[in-house]
Amino acid sequence: MSHKLSEVQIKNFKSCINTELKLSGYTPLIGYNNAGKSNALTAIQWLLKKTSLGLDDFFDRASPVEVIGVIEGISQDLLGQMNANHRSSIENYITDEKLKIRRVQLTPNAKAAEIRISVWSDTEQDWVPNPNGIDNALKSILPEPIRIGAMENAAEDASKAKSTTTIGKLLAEFLEPVRAAHEVELAGHLGEVSRRISSDGDMRFGELAVIDQNVNRRIDDLFPGMSLKLHFETPTFDELIKSGSIKVYENQNQGRDFSSYGHGAQRSIQMALVQYLAEVKRGAGGQLTTTLLLIDEPELYLHPFAVEQIRQALLALSQNGYQVVLSTHSAQMVTSDQAKYSLLIRKNTQRGTYARVRLADAIQALVPDSVHQMEQLFSLSHSTQVLFAEQVALTEGKTELRLLPFIFETASGRTLGQEKLALVAQSGVSDTRKSLDILDAMDLPAKAIVDLDYAFTRAINDGYLQDTDPDINALKIILQRLEQQGAITLHTNGLPKKGVVKPSKAFELLANEQDAVIHIENLHNRLKAQGIWVWTKGAIEAHIGTASKDELAWSQFKASVDSDGLEATCPQHQTLIDLVSWLRV
């Protein structure tokens, strides 16, 4: 894609009080129902397609609606391909290959002529209202968007299929080869029709002449000297295309109107047209325009395999002359590659609809060029959780990932999904601080759950504890005692290493020492206050009473809790209850 709409600011439009969006070639808008995703799509459409907004479109009816957009990638090569008049309308307002435009409507139900577009001038440091020819110049690089809404009006849209409807626009997009091959031939046929039914046709049907004569005798009695001829306008090629519709056939039976089918079939056919459009456009290249494709919930009514196919078709379009912006509730519409550019759309009373900081922007700001961090946090399985959550819990091991959802529901009576809480497994505790900082930059509340050894190593490196911490020093003395007893093996830095037992077992033995309990509790409480939960018995396994980390042990634990309850199964059941309560705060 040579150019695209990269930034949009929406002011006073419905729930978008002051909404800022950063757009890529393929931008999923992810959010719960009524967050304002569709409002954002409509505002983007309005920026490029002038229509009069009504009372309900204004958040504050005493203030104007204003939408500002930045078009980037307007290179000298692109300008050179434009019509000279179009180029002259915009080239003086382009800075660093960017053009900033603004559309404003001052009052509800204003006349179309009163809805003005302007461009930003760096020279004047102000908006220049409606430069000569700006609308046509913009249409030459960003034509009227194609909007595919949710299914409320799908039947009407599909059956009419006029130029303003989804189907009509899609048909117009890929029927250009038909025009190229047959426009002259069809024009000849239409000319023959015109000769027979138009008022001036030289081969008019005799029956039309008879009707004309009979009517004119009556007119002559009332208005002498006046006459009429019946006239039937012959459509042009463009008008034929615009009036195209769709008939659906099953088992060679007579075709039925699209509207007679259910929403699932309607959506499938609608998306099939999108898929075909992607095939037509793939590899076409050399296009001057970038067309915005704005879609509400493309996954609606489709089965999982079809959702994946639609996602791939939209991705293909985003690389071949289209910029795709969609609202979605489906993680299948977002791969790990797109997760970092997805927009988390939220709404509250104070801010209205707003977008949280994108993953890509948060990562780049905090850990620039960190490929590992991006892969760690936002692989597909992780993005599925993170992008659809209101809060995140980072975990260290597989046991937490497998059992905490079960423990959470058992202790609270609610699922993680009901609490809008995502559970994300880290590859290691070394990611903890960076992960928490990234999620904080996204305004996404997050906490971490770690093993006891974190307090002795990464917590100090990450700045949560001091290397002179008195509790750490006291616990190191106890570790030395355990080594002297032959129970564990220590590094020269005083921390456990593989030897008599594994380091994880060494920390578990430490936690069982009576004089260590108070110091571990102190560390636990200090880190908990900073959003990090430390297992005071070493790791989760010691709290739930499992000796291994495998499917058999996890299944046995769940079966025991189901039959005997959490308190009877877990040696440290109160710790688990406390953890669940902490996660829910």
Query: What would the pLDDT profile of 236-290 be if each residue is shown by its tens digit?
Result: 877 776 676 677 887 767 777 766 777 777 777 777 877 777 776 665 555 678 8
DSSP state of 332: G
Q: What is the residue range of 100's domain?
A: 4-154+288-348
pLDDT surpasses 70 at 306: yes
CA 159 to chain CA centroid, Å, is 29
pLDDT of residue 158: 46
Number of H helices and E strands in the chain, helices first, is 26, 20
Percent of the chain with pLDDT over 90: 54
Higher pLDDT, 415 or 340: 415
Both tokens of 290, joined, read: 């970038």
**362 is a domain residue:** no
Phi first, then psi, for residue 52 (nearest 5°) are -85, 125
Phi first, then psi, for residue 466 (nearest 5°) are -90, 150
Spatial distance between the Cα atoms of 115 and 130, rounded to a whole number of angstroms: 10
pLDDT of residue 365: 77
Spatial distance between the Cα atoms of 338 and 379, rounded to a whole number of angstroms: 10
Integer CA distances (angstroms), 250 to 167, 246, 258, 430, 573, in order: 20, 13, 12, 59, 60
How many domains does the chain contain in total?
A: 3
- Regarding whether 143 and 237 lie in a shared domain, the answer is no
| Paired residues of 102 in beta bridges | 68, 118
**355 is a domain residue:** no
pLDDT surpasses 70 at 157: no
pLDDT surpasses 70 at 86: yes
- Token pair 């047209």 is at which residue? 273
pLDDT of residue 368: 63
Nearest to 374 by CA among 328, 341, 327: 341
- Regarding whether 507 and 429 lie in a shared domain, the answer is yes
Q: Are 162 and 242 a contacting pair, CB within 8 Å?
A: yes
pLDDT of residue 160: 46
- Regarding whether 527 and 396 lie in a shared domain, the answer is yes
**536 is a domain residue:** yes
**325 is a domain residue:** yes
**375 is a domain residue:** yes
- Regarding whether 556 and 488 lie in a shared domain, the answer is yes
Cβ atoms within 10 Å, residue 255: 10
Helix, strand, coil shares of the chain, percent, nearest 5, are 50, 15, 35
- Regarding whether 544 and 406 lie in a shared domain, the answer is yes
Q: In what order do the strands lie in the sheet with 421-425?
A: 421-425, 391-395, 446-450, 532-534
Spatial distance between the Cα atoms of 222 and 217, rounded to a whole number of angstroms: 9
Q: What mean pLDDT value characterizes the chain?
A: 87
Summarised one tens digit per residue, pLDDT across range 107-135 is: 999 998 899 999 999 999 999 998 888 88
- Regarding whether 414 and 513 lie in a shared domain, the answer is yes
Spatial distance between the Cα atoms of 391 and 382, rounded to a whole number of angstroms: 13
